[in-house]
Amino acid sequence: MIKNKYFTEFKQHNIFIPLIIVILSCSSLIIINYLTIKILSASRAYVNGESHYSKGQKDATRHLTNYLFTKTPLQWELFNDELSVPLGDKAARIGLNNNHDIEIIKDGFRAGRNDEKDLDDLIWLYKHFHTVSFISEAFDEWEKADQLIDELELIGKDLHKKLNTITLSTEEKENIYQQITINTNKLSINQRDFSNSLGKATRLVKSYLLFTNIFFTLIIIGSVSIYYSVMIHKLRRSKQEIDDRNKNLIITNKELDKFVYSASHDLRSPILSLKGLIEIVKLEDDLDEIRIYLDLMNQTLDKQDQFIKEIIDYSRNKRKKVIATSFSLNQIIDEIISQHCYIKGANMITINKNLSVDEAHSDSLSLKIILNNLLSNAFKYFDEKKENPYISIKTYANEEFYKIEIEDNGIGIDKEHLDKIFEIFFVTNNTKKGSGLGLYLVKEAVKNINGTITVDSEMNVGSKFTLTIPKQYESQL
């Protein structure tokens, strides 16, 4: 029973495992998609920032070149103004590397003409992913570009100093122009590599996102399918259980109708018989005749008492919860025999007991109902014509079952009735000793303890009932 309880709880918990997997997978997808969108958004911000960086550098180079050949102060001012864009981004990068205050870093990005709404994403991506290989490549190119911007700044300062002190020759101007051109070409390569690295990172993130979504989607589909299959199985099983219960209810209602009809008839018959006998006794003066009538009354009351006991057993058997305990078969059998030793003719019957098994484990009440009815019938229907009437009780066991055999040499049962004797209110004899309820109670009690019962009988020879009870009763429930 305990094993089955744990097994049932385990199966119930298993139902929720696919649901838990779906919830975890959906949560993972939401988190992964959120992070991916944030990474892609930050990558877009860096690409946008690179365009401002590149434009600022190129415009600064153009103004410096104009200043070289025109010496116009405005061109120098414009050079410094445009150069402040990549220098601002450089300050932001240094601040990120050295974990400076967030506002200082943001001021650097603002100087780099980055959108205010992108600043948090720019900082977040660098702080969390600057060590990831395909993103660190882009930041390495950024650092190399900053070094070239420093060179360009030095070229500009040196040119400004010379133009304010001396007049440059054409050859000197050409050399400075070559330095500016070389620096510009190197910066173009770095800027291109920076964009390519970010593009590569974006494509990788996109691929990872695609594979991750496919992976979790398959998990979700599989889990939902399993959950759906389990629920369909449960619904089908529940429907089958409901159908079985409905069938049992229909059978029970039919049996109840038959029971009420037969019980009311069998309860009234002895009463009417007693009333008739009482009226006869009132008119009788012969004591011997009165004793005969009183004996008939006593038999009628015995029959009524037996019928009421069977109704009580029927009610207890229907309402009582089955409980498995250990008990003594010998004790139960002796108690039942002692209850029947005073009935008419019991002293003529020899009781033979051969109990190889005494202690058993099952529902004791159900077993008492079974043995009481079987032994009661053996006593009730013994054959008075035979010289040595007997009742033989035998118990034995194998690895899985207890066996109980009750055999008698009584009046027996007609072969044509053997398949009906366990039906409610079925009576086989003409003496009307039975109510037709006893063997029905036996069948129901046997069913309660997951056992089986067979009968072998022949008219005027005797009957043999064989009861089989499982040893591991708990696991059968």
If asked whether residues 225 and 326 sit together in one domain, one would say no
Instruction: CATH number of the domain at 373, please.
Output: 3.30.565.10
Residue 314 is assigned to a structural domain of this protein: no
Structural domain includes residue 236: no
pLDDT digits (tens, 9 = 90+) for 23-54: 887 888 788 888 788 888 888 888 888 889 89
pLDDT at site 407? 94
Q: Measuring CA to CA, how many Å separate 278 from each of 269, 281, 349, 355? A: 14, 5, 33, 47
pTM value is 0.49
Domain final residue, candidates 231, 250, 268? 231
| Within a domain: 102 | yes
Structure letter (DSSP) for residue 341 = T
pLDDT digits over 403-446, tens only? 999 999 989 888 888 888 888 767 765 444 555 677 888 888 88
Query: How far apart are alpha carbons 407 and 457 in whole angstroms?
Result: 9
Q: Span 256-271, mean pLDDT?
A: 56
The total of structural domains in the chain comes to 2
37 and 157 belong to one structural domain: yes
Residues 201 and 345 in one domain: no
Mean pLDDT of all residues belonging to the chain: 81
**Distance, CA of 156 to CA of 180 (rounded, Å):** 9
Position 54 in a domain: yes
The range of the structural domain enclosing residue 214 comes to 2-231
Same domain, 223 and 326: no
| Residue 313 placed within a domain | no
What is the share, in percent, of the chain residues with pLDDT greater than 90? 22
187 vs 284: which has the higher pLDDT: 187
Mean pLDDT to the nearest integer, 160-175: 87
Which residue among 202, 231, 260 closes a domain?
231
pLDDT at 211: 81
Note whether 211 and 339 are same-domain residues.
no
361 is a domain residue: yes
Please give the pLDDT value at position 166. 82
Residues 62 and 182 in one domain: yes
User: Are 220 and 86 members of one domain?
Assistant: yes
The last residue of one of the domains, among 231, 254, 276, is: 231
The answer on 332 and 227 residing in a single domain is no
Token readout for 313 is 């057993």
Q: Cα separation of 476 and 212, whole Å?
A: 47
Q: Using CB atoms within 10 Å of the CB of residue 298, give its burial: 0 to 12 exposed, 13 to 18 middle, 19+ buried.
A: exposed
pLDDT computed for residue 270 by the predictor = 63
Same domain, 358 and 226: no
- Give the mean model confidence (pLDDT) for residues 179-185: 91
350-397 pLDDT tens trace: 999 998 988 888 888 788 888 888 888 888 888 888 888 999 999 998
Residue 356 covered by a domain = yes
Examine residue 120 and state whether it is found in any structural domain, yes or no. Answer: yes
Q: Are residues 194 and 341 in the same domain?
A: no
